[in-house]
C-alpha cells in the first residue's frame, strides 16, 4: 500500500504508517501532475492539507485511490460527497488542531490589544531616536480580562477558543445555528477541572455585546461578516478571522477600520490566497499571519498520528 502525503505529514504519522507496512511518499507533486503521478505509482491513499485540491476529475481518473485524507478540519478543497459516492473513504482530523488555532487567535488578540504588531515594526526603525514618541503612541492598550468574547461558530475550534477566553477571565457569548448549548471543561495542570455551560444566542446579540469577535465557521457562499454586520458591532471592536478566507468581506472590514467601528483586526486567512490584497498587507490596523492556525509541532504530530490511525483502521496493516 502506498500513501502520498502531498502537502506533507509529520514524522510521527510516517512512523506509524511505516510500522504498519505502508510506503509513505512525501514528494510534493504539482496539481497538474498529480493524476499521472498517482496512477504511475499506484497510490492508494492521498493525504492533503489546504494546498492540494481533490476534485471530481482526479477522483474519476485515479481508480487506484481508496482513501483521501485531509490533515485538518475543513474539507472544502475535496469533493467529499462525490468521492464517497464512488466508494472512497474520506477522512479528516477535526480535533487535532483546535487548540493550536485557539492559541493563534489569542496571540493576535494580545498583540492587537497592546499594539505589538505595530511596535515590533517601529522599534527596530525608530526605537533609538523616537523612544518617547513610541511609548506615548502605544500607551493606550487594553486588557482582555473582563471583556466579552463573541464566538461565531461554536464547533471544536470555537469551543477551544472559548476555553482560552474563560481561562483569562473573559465572558463568552456564542452563535451557532446548529447548536443550542455546549458543555466546556477546563482542565488545569494539577488535574483540577472547571465546567461551564454556554448557551448560544443570536448572531445579532453576539455582535452587539462583544468587545472581541472570532470566527470559526466553514467556507460558505455568502459572507458571515458583511457591511450590515459591522454596523451592529460595538465601536472599537477587535476581530480575528482564522477560519476561512471569504467569510469576512475584506473591503467592508477595511472601511469599518477607517470609520473607527473596528479598532484593529487579525487575519490568518484571506479571500485571495496565496496573494492577499495589498491594502490588507499594508494596513497598520491589521495583524497578519500566512494561514498558520494549525502550524504547531504539537498539532502536526496529532494530525499525523490521527490520520495514520484512521488509515490503518480502514485498510488494515499491510
Instruction: Just list the catalytic residues.
Output: 244, 273, 291
Sheet of 67-70: strand order equals 23-25, 2-5, 45-48, 67-70, 89-92
Q: Which residues, 6+ apart, have CB-to-CB distance to 78 below 8 Å? A: 48, 53, 54, 68, 70, 90
- Counting Cα atoms < 13 Å in the Cβ hemisphere of 279 gives 9
How would you classify residue 106: left for phi > 0, otherwise alpha for psi between -120 and 50, otherwise beta?
A: alpha
Q: Tell me if residue 184 falls in helix, strand or coil.
A: strand
- How many residues appear in the chain? 318
Residues 304, 217: Cα–Cα separation, whole Å:
23
Distance of CA 188 to the CA centre of its chain: 24
Q: Which residues, 6+ apart, have CB-to-CB distance to 226 below 8 Å? A: 249, 252
Q: Which residues, 6+ apart, have CB-to-CB distance to 200 below 8 Å? A: 154, 174, 175, 176, 179, 180, 181, 182
Amino acid at each position: 500500500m502506498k500513501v502520498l502525503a502531498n502537502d506533507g505529514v509529520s514524522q510521527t504519522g510516517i512512523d506509524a504508517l511505516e510500522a504498519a507496512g505502508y510506503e509513505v511518499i512525501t514528494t510534493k507533486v504539482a496539481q497538474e501532475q498529480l493524476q499521472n503521478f498517482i496512477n504511475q505509482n499506484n497510490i492508494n491513499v492521498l493525504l492533503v492539507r489546504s494546498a492540494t485540491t481533490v476534485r471530481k476529475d482526479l477522483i474519476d481518473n485515479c481508480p487506484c485511490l481508496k482513501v483521501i485524507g485531509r490533515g485538518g478540519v475543513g474539507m472544502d478543497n475535496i469533493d467529499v460527497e462525490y468521492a464517497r459516492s464512488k466508494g472512497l473513504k474520506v477522512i479528516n482530523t477535526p480535533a487535532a488542531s483546535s487548540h493550536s488555532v485557539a492559541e493563534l487567535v489569542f496571540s493576535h488578540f494580545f498583540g492587537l490589544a497592546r499594539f505589538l504588531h505595530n511596535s515590533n515594526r517601529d522599534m527596530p526603525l525608530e526605537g533609538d531616536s523616537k523612544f518617547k514618541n513610541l511609548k506615548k503612541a502605544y500607551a493606550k492598550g487594553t486588557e482582555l480580562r473582563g471583556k466579552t468574547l463573541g464566538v461565531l461558530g461554536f464547533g471544536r475550534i470555537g469551543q477551544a477558543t472559548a476555553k482560552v477566553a474563560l481561562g483569562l477571565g473573559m465572558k463568552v457569548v456564542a452563535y451557532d445555528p446548529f447548536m443550542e448549548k455546549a458543555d466546556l471543561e477546563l482542565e488545569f495542570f494539577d488535574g483540577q477541572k472547571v465546567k461551564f455551560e454556554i448557551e448560544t444566542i443570536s448572531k445579532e446579540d453576539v455582535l452587539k455585546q462583544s468587545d472581541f469577535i472570532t470566527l470559526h465557521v466553514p467556507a460558505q457562499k455568502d459572507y458571515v461578516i458583511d457591511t450590515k454586520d459591522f454596523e451592529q458591532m460595538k465601536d472599537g471592536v477587535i476581530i480575528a478571522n482564522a477560519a476561512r478566507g471569504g467569510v469576512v468581506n475584506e473591503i467592508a472590514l477595511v472601511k469599518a477600520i477607517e470609520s473607527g467601528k473596528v479598532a484593529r483586526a487579525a487575519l490568518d486567512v484571506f479571500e485571495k490566497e496565496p496573494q492577499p490584497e495589498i491594502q490588507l498587507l499594508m494596513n497598520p490596523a491589521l495583524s497578519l499571519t500566512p494561514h498558520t492556525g494549525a502550524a504547531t509541532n504539537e498539532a502536526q504530530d496529532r494530525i499525523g498520528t490521527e490520520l495514520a490511525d484512521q488509515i490503518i483502521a480502514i485498510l488494515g496493516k499491510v
